[in-house]
């Protein structure tokens, strides 16, 4: 998400300082920006205090392992990045009097019992399960953000992102769309965990970055869902990927992981009414654009 956000901000004429320790991301995704006069890259871990001399108007805090494969490989770090990293990013926002945007997640809703999920829903999260390291890190980050907003005047907003995807995702990222696109293009079976009836709301990256920028530039001070309310089952996704790629791949069903959410779909009334944001890219169109970018780099 971060590299696309840098592109979108620079295209609007902003100066961008991108901080990343390359833990799960790839600096190759920023290579096209290295000679851009508005762009600076700083290789740094947000778990340590951030020293940035320039004035800052906005801080978009996206740094966190985000793929289940990543956060299950580094569970303690994920919790610490959510805690210390968010604390440091907020500290920088306070010092610079910058507006702070926290990139949170639909995972704060856990395996939801309310459908679709409005921002007022408190969620159904197993606090000690394998996914809790990410879900609870983000819930803590949200609580920390709101505590600073409530008591210390932090100008802050929270974006709850739902399954973003698009060009530049790592083929071995572990998230379902890059996994299925890789499997289909390599002629491997597409793997589905469970029977494929679980649903997700896949949101194309351009809609994500547009939502993030509109939120940061608004005066809202609350969590807002940024997700495409078109709900798809994982089986539908697999069938669409096979059709769009013309792949001969079969579908292989595997065991469902612990605490895998069964339904996931945002209520985007708040984003639409308070922000004027609605997603513009359908799943099929987004998959086609993602595939085209994979072919361009093949
Ligand atoms: N893509 C999605 O579907 C989605 C959904 C919900 C929330 N989010 C949130 O959006 C943000 C970006 O996610 P993404 O999909 O681009 O994931 P990603 O793994 O591609 O990007 C995360 C980036 O954060 C960096 N990072 C991690 N820990 C860091 C640290 N301690 N210091 C500095 N940099 C660090 C990584 O190197 C990577 O470049 C994350 O906070 C994620 O939780 C993403």
What atom in ligand 1 is closest to the CA of residue 22? 37
Ligand 1 atom nearest the C-alpha of 26 is 39
Predicted confidence at residue 258, as pLDDT, reads 87
Q: How much is the average pLDDT of 256-265?
A: 90
Summarised one tens digit per residue, pLDDT across range 100-115 is 999 999 999 999 999 9
The atom of ligand 1 lying closest to the CA of 63 is 24
24 touches ligand 1 (CB under 6 Å): yes
Mean pLDDT for 204-231 is 98
Catalytic residues: 134
**R_g (Cα) of the chain, nearest Å:** 19
C-beta of 2 in contact with ligand 1 (< 6 A): yes
Report the mean per-residue pLDDT for the chain: 96
Q: How far is the CA of 25 from the centre of ligand 1 (A)?
A: 7
Q: What is the pLDDT of residue 260?
A: 87
Selected residue with higher pLDDT from 295 and 75: 75
- 45-69 average pLDDT score: 96
- Percentage of the chain with pLDDT > 90? 95
CA nearest neighbour of 232 among 185, 278, 192, 199: 199
Using DSSP, how many helices (H) and how many strands (E) does the chain show? 10, 12
> So what's the pLDDT on residue 284?
97
Expressed in angstroms and rounded, the spacing between residue 248 Cα and the centre of ligand 1 is 33
Q: Is the CB of 77 under 6 A from ligand 1?
A: no
Cβ of 105 closer than 6 Å to ligand 1, yes or no, is yes
The span from the first CA to the last CA of the chain, in angstroms, equals: 21
| Structure tokens belonging to residue 177 | 């769309």
In this predicted structure, what is the pLDDT of residue 259?
85
Q: How far apart are CA 80 and CA 238, in angstroms?
A: 35
The whole-angstrom separation of Cα 63 and Cα 294 is 24
| 20 Cα to the center of ligand 1, angstroms | 9
Inform me whether the pLDDT recorded for 298 exceeds 70.
Answer: no
* pLDDT score at 240: 97
pLDDT band at 294; cut points 50, 70, 90: confident
* Average of per-residue pLDDT across 123-145: 97
Give the pLDDT of residue 109: 97
Whether residue 161 has its Cβ less than 6 Å from ligand 1: yes
- State residue 296's pLDDT score: 65
**pLDDT, tens only, 148-206:** 999 999 999 999 999 999 999 998 888 999 999 999 999 999 999 999 999 999 999 99
Question: What number is the average pLDDT over the span 230-234?
Answer: 96
How far, in Å, is the centroid of ligand 1 from the Cα of 41? Answer: 16
- Token readout for 46 is 């947000």
Model confidence, pTM:
0.97
Question: How far apart (Å, rounded) are the C-alpha atoms in residues 103 and 142?
Answer: 9
65 lines ligand 1 (CB under 6 A): yes
């Amino acid at each position: 998400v971060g590299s696309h956000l840098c592109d979108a901000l620079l295209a609007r004429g902003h100066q961008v300082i991108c901080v990343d320790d390359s833990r799960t991301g790839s600096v190759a995704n920023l290579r096209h920006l290295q000679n851009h006069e508005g762009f600076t890259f700083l290789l740094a871990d947000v778990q340590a205090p951030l020293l940035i001399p320039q004035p800052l108007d906005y801080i978009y805090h996206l740094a966190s392992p985000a793929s289940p494969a990543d956060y299950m490989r580094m569970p303690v770090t994920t919790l610490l990045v959510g805690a210390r990293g968010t604390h440091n990013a907020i500290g920088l926002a306070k010092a610079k009097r910058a507006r702070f945007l926290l990139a949170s997640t639909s995972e704060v809703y856990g395996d939801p019992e309310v459908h679709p999920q409005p921002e007022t829903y408190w969620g159904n999260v197993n606090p000690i399960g394998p996914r809790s390291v990410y879900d609870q890190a983000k819930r803590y980050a949200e609580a920390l953000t709101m505590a600073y907003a409530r008591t210390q005047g932090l100008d802050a907003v929270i974006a709850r992102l739902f399954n973003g995807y698009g060009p530049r995702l790592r083929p071995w990222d572990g998230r379902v769309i890059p996994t299925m696109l890789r499997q289909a293009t390599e002629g491997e079976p597409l793997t589905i965990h469970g029977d494929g009836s679980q649903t997700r709301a896949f949101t194309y990256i351009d809609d994500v970055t547009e939502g993030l920028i509109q939120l940061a530039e608004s005066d809202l001070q609350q969590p807002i869902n940024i997700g495409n309310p078109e709900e798809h089952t994982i089986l539908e996704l697999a069938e669409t990927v096979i059709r769009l790629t013309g792949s001969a791949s079969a579908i292989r069903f595997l065991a469902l992981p612990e605490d895998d959410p069964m339904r996931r779909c945002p209520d985007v009334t708040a984003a639409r009414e308070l922000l004027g944001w609605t997603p513009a890219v359908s799943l099929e169109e987004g998959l086609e654009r993602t595939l085209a970018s994979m072919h361009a780099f093949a």
